Amino acid sequence: MNLSEYARYDGLGLAALVRAGEVSPEELARAAFRAMDAVNDALNAIVGRVDPPASAAPFEPGAVFAGVPFVIKDLWHGWSGVECSEASRLGAGIVATEDSVLAARFRRAGLVAVGRGNTCELGLSGQTDPIVYGAARNPWDPSLAPGASSGGSAAAVAAGVVPLAHGNDGGGSIRMPAAYCGLVGLKPSRGRNPLGPPTFGDGAHPVVAHHVMSRSVRDNAAALDVSSGPAGGDFVPLARAQCPFLEEVSREPAGLRIALCTRINGASEPDPTCVAAVRSAAALCESLGHEVEEATPDVGYQDIIDVCMDFYALSVVSSVEAMARAAGRRPGPDTLEAPSLSTYEMGRRMSGSRIVRRMEQLASISRVMGDFMRRFDVVITPATSMMPPEVGRYSASHYEAGDLSYWAEEGETYTFLPLFSVSGQPAMSLPLHWSEAGLPVGVQIAGAIGDEAVLYRLAGQLERAAPWSERRPGVFAG
Has 268 been annotated as catalytic? no
H or E segment and range at residue 279: helix 272-287
What single letter denotes the amino acid at residue 345?
E
Q: Is 149 a catalytic residue?
A: yes
Catalytic residue among 153, 173, 216, 421: 173
Backbone angle region of 87, left / alpha / beta, with phi > 0 → left and psi within -120 to 50 → alpha:
left
> Which of 418, 417, 310, 421 minimizes the C-alpha distance to 357?
310
Q: Which of 55, 73, 150, 429 is catalytic?
A: 73
Which uninterrupted H or E stretch holds 19? helix 11-19
Among 164, 236, 166, 226, CA closest to 195: 236
Contacts 24+ apart (CB under 8 A), 106-109: 106/70, 106/166, 106/223, 106/226, 106/227, 107/55, 107/56, 107/57, 107/59, 108/57, 108/59, 108/63, 108/226, 109/59, 109/63, 109/64, 109/65, 109/223, 109/226, 109/227
> What is the rounded distance in angstroms from the CA atom of residue 213 to the CA atom of residue 217?
9
Q: Which of 55, 85, 149, 423 is catalytic?
A: 149
Residue 194 preceded by cis peptide, ω within 30: no
Question: With contact defined as beta carbons under 8 Å apart, do 156 and 45 qualify?
Answer: yes
Active site residue 173: yes
> How many Å separate Cα 345 from the centre of its chain?
26
Active-site residues: which are they? 73, 149, 173
